[in-house]
Structure 1
C-alpha cells in the first residue's frame, strides 16, 4: 500500500482495530530517514551487529491512527527495545517476564500466545483487576520527543492515543542477559 493511500485510510479509520504500519526497510528505501536519527547512547551496544547482513530485522518506522497498536507480546531473540515517538502519543502497559498479563496465555515454550481479540477488549475486561495486584503493570504515556525502554523478556502492549509516528529498534546488550 503506498504511503499516501495509507494516510487517506488512517485519516478516516473508524474501526476498533485500525491498521498499524510497520516498515523495517524504511532506511533502505529512504536512506536520509536512517541517518536522521542517532541511537541514544544508552542503547548503542548491540551484540547483533556481529551478524552483519544476516541480522534479523531490528528497526522500524511505525505509523498508526488513534486506536491502533500492538497487543501483548515479548520481543523476539532475547532483545530489548527502545521506541522514540516523533509525533503523537502512545500508552504503554508492561509486565515483568514472570507476570503474564491477565487474559494472555503463552504456550509452555513461549512460542505462541493467546490473548484477547483486541487491545480495547483487554482494557475493558482485564485492566482494572491488574491495577490492584502486588506486581502491578508499569504504565506510561510517551509523547513526541520522548523515548520508552522495553527490557528483554517484558510483556508489553501499546496503543496510540493520537495519530502517531515512531522509530523503534531492538538490540541485544551484554548488560541485560
Structure 2
C-alpha cells in the first residue's frame, strides 16, 4: 500500500465537487445506491438522516457516461497511466467508479477482481483502510475455497466494534491508514 500526496493538484473536481455543484450538474440522473437507483439530491437527503448500522453508499461505475462533465474533471495520476486493460477496448472490465457515502459507510472485506492493483482518490472527507496480508484471514471473514470471494456476515461497523480488537496482538497485523481529502491510495493486488 502506498499513500500519495500532491498528485491530484490539477483536478478540477477537488474544488468543484461539492454537494450543490454535483446536484446541479446531475439533475434527475439516477445513480446506483446499493440495490436501488436514486437521484443524487435524494441520496444526500438520505445520507444526512441515516442512523442505520449499514448505511447505503453511492457506488456508480457509469457516472462519467451518465454525467460526462464529471468524467472530464479528473485525470488518471501520472503514476497509474499505464493501463494494460485498455487493449481490450469495449471488452475491458469495469475500472472506475464514483463512491459517495456518509460516516460509517463502506465496503466490507473483499478482494478486487482480475488481480488488479487499484488506486482510490479521496476528494472530500476521508476513508479508513484495513488491509490484511494475503495469507491472513480477518476475524469473522469467511473466504471461498479458491480465495476469490470473501463473506463477512456482520457490517463493517460491527466488525470494528467486535472483531477488530482481536487483531491488535496478532503477529501478522493488518496495515492501516486513513486516506484524507486530496490524497490517493494505491492498493496492490
Q: What TM-score range do you get, normalising by the shorter chain? A: 0.7 to 0.9
User: What is the CA deviation profile of residues 44-92 of structure 1, one whole-angstrom value per residue up to 9, with x for unaligned ones?
Assistant: 1111111111112110000011111001101001111111111111111
The residue aligned with 2:64 is 27
- Higher strand proportion, which one? 1
Indicate the residue corresponding to 1:113 in structure 2.
150
2:45 pairs with 1:2: no
Show structure 2 runs of 5+ residues with no match: 1-37
Larger Rg: 2
Tell me the distance in 2 between the aligned counterparts of 1:24 and 1:119: 22
Distance in structure 2 (CA, Å) of the matches to 1:111 and 1:151: 15
1:11 aligns with 2:48: yes
Which residue is equivalent to 2:79?
42
CA contact (8 A) 2:142 2:150 kept: yes
From 144, 152, 155, give the equivalent of 2:181.
144
RMSD between aligned residues: 1.2
1:83 corresponds to 2:117: no
After TM superposition, the runs of 4+ consecutive aligned structure 1 residues lying more than 3 A away are: none
What secondary structure sits across from 2:115 in the alignment? coil
Tell me the equivalent position of 2:24. none
Aligned residues: 152
TM-score, with length taken from structure 2? 0.77
Which residue of structure 2 aligns with residue 94 of structure 1? 131
SS at match of 1:72: coil
Q: TM-score w.r.t. structure 1 length?
A: 0.82
Q: CA deviation at 1:120?
A: 1.6
Contact kept in structure 2, 1:90 and 1:143, CA below 8 Å: yes
Cα deviation, residue 113, structure 1? 2.1
* Aligned equivalent of 2:162, options 101, 115, 125: 125
More helix by share: 2
Distance in 2, Cα, partners of 1:129 & 1:12: 32
> Does the 8 A contact of 1:84 with 1:145 survive in 2?
yes
